[in-house]
Amino acid sequence: MALNLLSPTEIKTLSFQNYSKSNCSLNLLKPQELAHVFIDLEKAYDRVPRNVMWWALEKHKVPSKYITLIKDMYKDAMTCVRTCGGDTSDFPIKIGLHQGSTLSPYLFALVMDEVTRDIQGDIPWCMLFADDVVVVDESRAGMASHDDGAVTLDGQVVAKKETFRYLGSMIQNDGGIDGDVRHRIAVDWLKWRQASNVLCDKRVPQRLKGKFYRTAICPAMLYGAECWPTKRQHVQQLSVAEMRMLRWFCGHTRRDRIRNEDIRDRVGVAPIEEKLVQHRLRWFGHVQRRPPDAPVLGLSFKRKENGCTSAKRVHCSAQTPPPAWPGLAVIEPERKSWEGPKPISVVGSTGSIGTQTLDIVAENPDKFKVVALAAGSNVTLLADQVKTFRPQLVSVRDESLVDELKEALADVIDKPEIIPGEQGVIEVARHPDAVTVVTGIVGCAGLKPTVAAITAGKDIALANKETLIAGGPFVLPLAHKHNVKILPADSEHSAVFQCIQGLPEGALRRIILTASGGAFRDLPVDKLKNVKVADALKHPNWNMGKKITVDSATLFNKDSSVLAQLGWPDMRLPILYTLSWPDRIYCSEITWPRLDLCKLGSLTFKAPDNVKYPSMDLAYAAGRAGGTMTGVLSAANEKAVEMFINEQIGYLDIFKVVELTCDKHRAELVSLPSLEDIVYFDSWARDYAASLQPSIGLKPVLV
């Protein structure tokens, strides 16, 4: 659309806007580069010649009696200057308008209208904003034709400037801002160096560093950016400078091959492009507002009748179903829709959780279908699962087994896509057709697939507790950001989840979890040092994997929460509820018998023995420390159980390995860890735990 075809309404709107708004409107109406010439009068009110003012009034045919009245107001006007030694003598004011007079803006507008009449063109080719005059043209050549002569004011030639400052921005005569961008970057580095003691201190959490950077450092670089005619090269220069600062105080270099987006997410700093847009919109008068249906968190105080201290509780005004994970108040997003059976991906399909999940799918083919499978190394079982459930994508973590898997699937007509290694597991987790991802990988190995699934917007059926134990500080905010539901597929957590459904606010006082006590529930403490691996793998109720069975004996799979839901020990029940939530699919009574309380007979409860199970105190201490400590505890326990199963350490040494590893980590604890921090300290904890040997009192082995 050409500017000379603007409607009268658009022209009128432009003429009453300030320069920044008009310039924005011009860009919207005509998206091309425009040439501007600024005429800026410094201290314009103080420099209006009186004879020019009388001449402008006469030109506008103001009645002579009013001109005479105005002249009388300005006649014999005197002033003085206040100094340290007192006021100076009065002296006459022979130029300028009266400051603070309601008549002065009108007089100034008349003067500017007459002074600029020779250069005025059709709106919006010439725009007047108080003491600023802007002449606009479609090209530099056209502008040069307007600017071939000198501009004079009352006989005085207005000098041309190579650069001039407009609202904090240094604009060059060619319209560029290269010099100003370099200057702002230099100023920003100066501010950064002044605060480097804080920003480079490893004891300061990275989120706090990011907040300090956004508040004290970044504004210096973007000062006056509202009026910058930025190009890609300017944005690139600003981004490079900022990323150097962010990487510096995060302790990373480009050689670490960590993506810029990951570092920005870690410290909470938005990209330069977004900040420039925010600056301009704020200048134009726009305000970013929350959605009208966003929850409003408030703090209410209620004093008890017996005069005790006030009880505080946080309430959420959003009328939503109970949250997907206990204690997390989020708005329930719109239900994902699909046709036919609900598509799911299974990560860890050949393990205990994975096989039981597939049993549920086989029992309910009209309710669920498998679109992707990921396994570790059990190629034979994985091939049978592929033939049964016909997934679109398959991954085997051990890349050396790919050929064996392909050979096992040679007779399959519709062969699935096979992606080996860790990347394949991640692709299974974020398969585009999957609605829910079941994560059944033991340990921290399930963290990256879970993060990938959350980022892709998949709901998580979480049976891997270590994902939240180690990665909770990173995973939970990420799930909240992507409106993803984390649904517990583990037996205890699913029991809690089912019990709180429909509870009103404030109705839950405490949660009580029960534990079987494992294989050594009735064994005296003094005999625990002599137990064998085979003894630890005899769980009284459950048939589970080796690591989980040992955890049940040590109670390392219990934390400070406690609750019991009555049901036969069958993991398929919580998995089925998780996959079907918020609906409930009732299982077959033939396949899964109902719990008969009469046949059950009685329930016996005993207080936990902290001497026999020191893991409880260790878990409490790790939870209080927070940050990376819980992940270190989980990784050290996983390694210690592995060494016990391999008969490298004794049963009681499991607790010693975990305790020593956590004690060693206290000096390097990260309160608000990133994903890289969590993965790094998980690996460190395993290596350190492996370096402890019982023959020398579990001291680190010197390599």
Please name every residue paired with 86 in a beta bridge, in sequence order, or none if there are none: 83
> Do 120 and 222 belong together in one domain?
no
Tens of pLDDT, residue by residue over 229-287, are: 778 888 888 888 888 888 888 887 767 778 888 888 888 888 888 888 877 776 655 44
Tens of pLDDT, residue by residue over 196-221, are: 888 888 788 888 888 888 888 888 88
How large is the average pLDDT for residues 414-432?
Answer: 88
> Do 202 and 69 belong together in one domain?
no
Phi, psi of 544 (to 5 degrees): -130, -175
CATH of the domain at 458: 3.40.50.720
Position 318 scores a pLDDT of 35
In a domain, 471, yes or no: yes
> Do 135 and 182 belong together in one domain?
no
Distance, in Å, from the CA atom of 449 to the CA atom of 463, rounded to the nearest integer, reads 13
> Do 350 and 418 belong together in one domain?
yes
* Confidence band of 183 (pLDDT split at 50, 70, 90): confident
Distance, in Å, from the CA atom of 405 to the CA atom of 383, rounded to the nearest integer, reads 7
> Do 31 and 141 belong together in one domain?
yes
Distance, in Å, from the CA atom of 559 to the CA atom of 578, rounded to the nearest integer, reads 21
How large is the average pLDDT for residues 68-82?
Answer: 84
DSSP-derived secondary structure letter, 396: E
Cα 80 versus chain centre, distance: 59
> Do 8 and 98 belong together in one domain?
yes
> How many angstroms separate the Cα of 335 from the Cα of each of 89, 366, 484?
81, 19, 11
> Do 91 and 139 belong together in one domain?
yes
- Give the residue, 38 or 276, on which the prediction is more confident: 276
- Give the residue, 472 or 347, on which the prediction is more confident: 347
In a domain, 190, yes or no: yes
> Do 368 and 224 belong together in one domain?
no
Model confidence at 329: pLDDT above 70: no
In a domain, 269, yes or no: yes
Answer for the pair 283, 224: CB distance below 8 angstroms, yes or no.
no
How large is the average pLDDT for residues 619-637?
Answer: 86
In a domain, 61, yes or no: yes
Mean pLDDT (the chain, rounded): 73
> Do 152 and 186 belong together in one domain?
no
In a domain, 134, yes or no: yes
> Do 399 and 260 belong together in one domain?
no
Answer for the pair 643, 649: CB distance below 8 angstroms, yes or no.
yes
Residue spans of beta strands (DSSP E) within 427-530: 436-439, 459-462, 486-488, 512-513
- Total structural domains in the chain? 3
User: Looking at 489, 518, 547, which one is the last position of a domain?
Assistant: 489
In a domain, 463, yes or no: yes
Model confidence at 21: pLDDT above 60: no
Position 562 scores a pLDDT of 43
In a domain, 696, yes or no: no
* Confidence band of 572 (pLDDT split at 50, 70, 90): confident
> Do 352 and 448 belong together in one domain?
yes
User: Looking at 283, 303, 334, which one is the last position of a domain?
Assistant: 283
* Confidence band of 125 (pLDDT split at 50, 70, 90): low
For residue 492, the SS3 value is helix
> Do 15 and 156 belong together in one domain?
yes
Q: Which helix (H) or strand (E) element contains residue 440?
A: none
In a domain, 608, yes or no: no
* Confidence band of 621 (pLDDT split at 50, 70, 90): confident
Model confidence at 503: pLDDT above 80: no
Answer for the pair 441, 351: CB distance below 8 angstroms, yes or no.
yes
User: Looking at 462, 489, 516, which one is the last position of a domain?
Assistant: 489
Q: Which domain holds residue 69?
A: 1-160
Residue type at position 113 = D
